[in-house]
Amino acid sequence: QEDSATAIPWLEDSLDIRKNRLGEEHLETAKAYLHLGEANLNMNSPPIAIDLLKRCVVIRTRHLGDNTADTAEAQRLLAKAYAAQGIYLESAMLYKKAVDYARQNFGADSAIVREWELELEQILAREGTTAARNDSDNGKPNESSNSLVIVRPLEVQLLKSQAKHGINSLGAAQYCHELGQAYLDIQNIHGAVKVLESASSVRSGALGDMHEDTLASMLALGIAYRASGRVEEALNLHEKVYDVRFSSYGESSETACAAHQVGLDHAALGQLSEGLHWYRRSASIEQSICGEKSLVLADLYEDVSKALKQLGDVNGSLTWMERSTRVHELNTSHPPTPSHVVP
């Protein structure tokens, strides 16, 4: 720390000189950011280190790309700074990038890969421990409990899968899909969009757009898009899923689910008559397959009721709400099924 304390003023002068003479975006300026950031990290000043090292990562990535030793070096130092600040998930994601580079260039069994993977495992372990402590200290039994029990293990497994098999592996895509649905459950819409876009892209490239795994991720992504206000994009995805499922399976539960989502998209766009058409289409399919006790059917009846009420048909709305209530009465031991669950 004494060496770093002595070095920091000199490193600050070096950074200023390089910025003035070479410009902010020069690779030598990036090196100065790196050295100053590392010195601040050694002085237990992670917030300052993070700002400096982020600049280095941005400049090196722009000039050199992700797959270089210099960029990996900066990513690893920034990951350490994030960890020192207690931002473990961001730290783990950067460590994963560095591990990917080391694996590709030094081999999976090399000493540097083993060292960096061990550091990644330690970060993931800290992230889980801190999450448990924070949830307990905050006294949040519901959403925090869901986050801890479902979301955080999926986040950890996703990072491990990406580090071991690569970002574009089908195993990672499966975790992205599951994590996306978990994020929807706790209303982390931004996170859901991010991981479901990844799942859809990877599955589409590896399996094709006709595969059911791809369709499931596309359907879930559409739900996330609608929740984030990107309703037109949601409608396009859900219509595509419906068309493929109907042509492949005919009138199935999967097809009914897609039809329901198309109806919800139309309703979100203010196209209530179109939404009503798709709700009834979905309900007809679901009833023919599962009978009147299906809890999914109860949700559909309720959506029909809401649409009719908005269209001014109060009597029709009451009739469909009564039908929804009857279905729930037939399933009194079961709670209603969330409408975003994707089969």
334 has pLDDT over 90: no
Cα dist. 37→29, 31, 88, 97 in Å? 12, 10, 18, 19
Judged against a pLDDT cut of 90, whether residue 134 lies above it is answered with no
With CA atoms as reference, report the closest residue to 301 among 266, 255, 342, 336.
336
- pLDDT surpassing 70 at residue 54: yes
Report the alpha-carbon distance of residue 183 to residue 193 in Å, rounded: 9
pLDDT for 21 beyond 80? yes
Which segment, 65-69, 253-257, 290-294, is predicted with the most confidence on average?
253-257
Q: How high is the pLDDT of residue 150? A: 65
Under 8 Å CB-to-CB from 25, ≥6 apart: which residues? 59, 62, 63
Q: In the prediction, which pLDDT does 65 show? A: 85
228-266 pLDDT, tens per residue?
999 999 999 999 999 999 999 898 989 999 999 999 999
Residue with tokens 């920034």: 78
As a whole number, mean pLDDT of residues 288-308 equals 88
pLDDT band, very low/low/confident/very high, at 333 (cuts 50, 70, 90): low
Give 272 or 65, the one with higher predicted confidence. 272
Q: What number is the average pLDDT over the span 272-289?
A: 93
Cβ pair 204, 219 in contact under 8 A? no
pLDDT of residue 122: 75
Which of 99, 104, 159 has its CA nearest to residue 126? 159
Give the length of the chain: 343
CB-hemisphere CA count at 13 Å for 59?
A: 21
- Amino acid letter, residue 160: K
Among 172, 229, 165, CA closest to 196: 172
Average pLDDT, the chain: 84
Report, as an integer, the average pLDDT of 314-329: 91
Q: What is the pLDDT of residues 137-172, one digit of tens each?
A: 444 334 444 444 567 677 777 777 776 777 888 988
